[in-house]
Structure 1
């Protein structure tokens, strides 16, 4: 309660209205229903804080992790490059704790000591473009990145581990990955500073996987320059980004078939087709079968953006929309969840046969080693039902009944706040055998989960 006893003016620096019940009842935690929708996907990792706000609208606007820990009222709030206000109420501690709560690995991204190439409005006319920290500032900045690793993993007796412990988490957060840079313009200034940060991390923390960046597109000058840096430095992984039309995804289902198998691995850190209609989601599903097939090359993938509040975003392709009461799960969300909750460690070739000349069809077969389940994913991007055939001869004895989940509808169907349930997955049982036929419904993703080694 704030009580004014005399006439005058009252200046409030920060007001935070918070639900009493947060996810896992964490102090300063997340909105419980939204957090649960993410937890329901069973993600293997979560990237944070995300895209262009990482490197910021100018050097003074870069996302600096130390400004986001400690008492909320002492954190540094700022406008980000997308024009939104950030209180930093959801800071690094809350992020790492949420990852731990849902069994996801944290994947923080730090600036590569350069600002966004779009700083100052260069997507219009004018602007300042990419700027780099001076050479005299680099030692301090590199230490800031190293301090993040100590804060996440260091003992409670270390300087930054003690700050983590003081916040209520004396144990390590077990950080394994750190991204350096976000789809930056690959300039000499960027390359010099990225190399300095990378070498400092590898010297002090060789156990950490450093993820590089190869620009904002699936090809082009920055893409090629970023990959050249990765090859020269022998990076373990790089972060590819692309937002494309669904037709591009369907035309590039075999993109990663052509990548070298023993080189730097790929993290597809931001991708989506432009839209939240069913056809967008089904094109993404077809593309994901290619990522599964090439799991030895593409080690990580994350759809983006993740969350958008109704009426407060100018980016209209997002996975989850919400207002103060409701949550809108897009068809894209359902596709991601169907893949995430049906992952496998081993991919099998020539299990699902289809018309190989039909570019609207895609399929994948994986084995979940924890359960022994065989998981079939079948995609039809056309407007008619299409036949496929499953041959499970290479597996052991299977159950006669399997679980089938289908997401289907009309190509332009989408969920809205007026109709939140227009497109949702439907689960039922299906009879299966060592060899069985299946008609994939029009514009659909089907996941069939088959038990084996049944007595």
Structure 2
């Protein structure tokens, strides 16, 4: 850290031992010291073991071009002008003619690889030259590393060889030679592999490419080498080194950054994405499972295409890989109230005659996730490589929906069907998009009437709002539905990821933790954003093709996630005169026995604390102290440089009573080992 005098800790050797302070320090703090008392030996209050999680929405290119490991953009030629005005099936593809070669490409639909994947390319070679084919540069350049392996694959079949109208299309005994290369932008060959496409049936061709040098903006080149024609679809390039080495897996560095948060659950796939921009734009989970070439991509309401290569199986598998519970969100039978460019007036409900089939889709998801491999949908999961159930506990129904009679009628049908078939599933409802107002009030009233298990609240508010609402959940009814703070973030006026905003979120989490008996779940939003393709700010993690930028907000979430507990311990904070932005919470991790104290100082001056851990045995106790701080509350971690806001961790020892100064603009976590 580049902040002088970041922290000073003064410890007593044992209970009752005087703390010797430097005279200047004593004079400076004696009249301005706050007192923090933790009932360290009490039984405490059990709180949710799933309190901290993450929320993934395919927003800001979070999936394709982001967490999903695929390096080819528009691999199945399904982009459309309905997504962006200048898009079409050829977007991100160009024709390549080399060494006097001549030919071209057309989009076809006559014999698709699968009905869900209707478009493919017909590549015709009139004069072979040194090859005629297609080039794809991925999402602004394909990053490859020397020595790393990449799996290239494509589906193809022969159309004709020689002349198109020759007998038997001239393909008998005449395969089409195809070379696939990784090249630099200047045409230098980094790796290549040759294939022989044969026959009239779609076949998958694949090989590993290992580039001889690194390149941050390579391209994939596919060239046919003889006169004739072939069909192409699902042209793919994947790093072999995906997260946990999974096939069709995730970008390793982004997935690891999420895993390092230690979330207890992952909410997916959205958000607004789930209920979509109109009834035909629902995110349908069944369209996202099975072989990737058979999945049904569609327009993303955030303004681009979603291939659903990162589908429900991959989401559930990722949750299992990082030790998190899956929390899928399904539409409540209505689309977004802002659909069709009609803010506040666009909500439509599925016709009631279609609701039984839709409800069956919801029930089928639970069978797919939890059913034995002998069931219809459990078998599909097993065939994908996961014979054991995933252990689904939560299902979200709806997202930020306008609380109308249309919504209520359909939500009630879904909820009652789920509870009748699967009473152990926790249904997560919604209370609209804001932390107050008509939808919020009506949503909560309806949730109580329906005895909904958990209600999803969302708020994107100023840092000041978070500090002013630390006691928000103190007054919530413990006998009603529990709360999921499904989307929250502190928004500066300029929407930057400042330390100030991160500390406001840390302060908010102390309120969640203190009320963890009623706040069951909480997740920051949004999670990911690709630079140059961002529809929403601020976000927790920014990235490019090669880099990952961790914000101050990320580090707050990481400190919280890595220091979770399941029992809240009464924590009393007597603030010194003039001390405004100071708060704390304390928990016990019953698995380890550790005592965890979180302290947030949002003021621009250090805070002197007298800390009493009531009931802690006399003597010194080992502890880890992690501090996130900067003298400037406006500090933001820059792209391409070392972060200016990041946690520092050090070992220390504490006694049952000790004094400590926490820095200005800081979040401190003390983890006392037991």
Give TM-score, length-normalised by structure 2: 0.65
**Are residues 1:67 and 2:287 paired?**
yes
1:412-451 Cα offsets, whole Å, 9 max, x none, are 1111213242211011133421111121211100011112
Number of residue pairs the alignment of both structures matches: 449
Which residue is 2:507 aligned to?
286
Distance 1:189 1:403 in 2: 53
Which residue is 1:246 aligned to?
463
1:285-320 Cα offsets, whole Å, 9 max, x none, are 111111110001101101111111111112011111
**Are residues 1:177 and 2:394 paired?**
yes
**Are residues 1:166 and 2:383 paired?**
yes
Distance 2:355 2:417 in 1: 11
Which residue is 1:451 aligned to?
673
Shift of the 113–429 alpha-carbon distance from structure 1 to 2, 3 Å rule, reads same
Which residue is 1:416 aligned to?
638
Which residue is 1:92 aligned to?
312
Question: RMSD of the TM alignment (CA)?
Answer: 1.7
Distance 2:567 2:502 in 1: 24
Which residue is 2:368 aligned to?
151
Q: 1:118 aligns with which of 311, 316, 338?
A: 338
Shift of the 250–108 alpha-carbon distance from structure 1 to 2, 3 Å rule, reads same
The DSSP-based 3-state class of the residue aligned with 2:238 is: coil
Distance 1:412 1:405 in 2: 21
**Are residues 1:440 and 2:633 paired?**
no
Give TM-score, length-normalised by structure 1: 0.95
The DSSP-based 3-state class of the residue aligned with 1:191 is: helix
User: Superposed, which structure 2 residues align to 1:128-139 within 5 Å?
Assistant: 129-139=346-356
The DSSP-based 3-state class of the residue aligned with 1:120 is: helix
Distance 1:408 1:72 in 2: 45
Q: 2:246 aligns with which of 18, 21, 26?
A: 26
1:50-86 Cα offsets, whole Å, 9 max, x none, are 2101000001111000000011111111121111211
Q: CA deviation at 1:358?
A: 3.5
The DSSP-based 3-state class of the residue aligned with 2:271 is: coil
Task: Name the larger-Rg structure.
Answer: 2
Q: CA deviation at 1:336?
A: 0.6
Q: CA deviation at 1:101?
A: 0.7
User: Superposed, which structure 2 residues align to 1:337-356 within 5 Å?
Assistant: 337-350=558-571, 353-355=574-576
Distance 2:256 2:481 in 1: 34
Which residue is 2:538 aligned to?
317
**Are residues 1:44 and 2:261 paired?**
no
Distance 1:79 1:30 in 2: 21
Which residue is 1:304 aligned to?
525
Contact 1:328 / 1:420 at 8 angstroms: preserved in 2? no
1:1-56 Cα offsets, whole Å, 9 max, x none, are 56535567776543332211111111101111111111111110000102101000
Which residue is 2:216 aligned to?
none
Q: 2:323 aligns with which of 74, 98, 103?
A: 103
Contact 2:571 / 2:585 at 8 angstroms: preserved in 1? no
Higher share in helix = 1
Distance 1:316 1:348 in 2: 35
Contact 2:580 / 2:603 at 8 angstroms: preserved in 1? no
- Using the TM superposition, name which of 8-17 and 43-52 deviates more: 8-17
Q: CA deviation at 1:122?
A: 2.5
Contact 1:352 / 1:388 at 8 angstroms: preserved in 2? no
Contact 2:603 / 2:665 at 8 angstroms: preserved in 1? yes
Q: 1:58 aligns with which of 266, 269, 278?
A: 278
Distance 1:405 1:95 in 2: 31
